[in-house]
Amino acid sequence: PVNMRLMEEIKKVFDPKMILNPGKVCYTL
């Protein structure tokens, strides 16, 4: 889905090194 892609992009901005939740993409900001 498009929203999954959007959440991935948002995650890259807030967590570029994947240190917060590497296994979770859809999380509440």
pLDDT tens per residue across span 1-29? 678 888 788 877 776 666 665 556 555 54
Q: What three-state secondary structure class fits 28?
A: coil
Torsion sign across C-alpha atoms 10, 24, 21, 29: positive
DSSP 20: S
**Run of H or E residues at 8:** helix 2-14
pLDDT at residue 12 in the model: 78
pTM over 0.85: no
Q: Quote the tokens at residue 26.
A: 């859809």
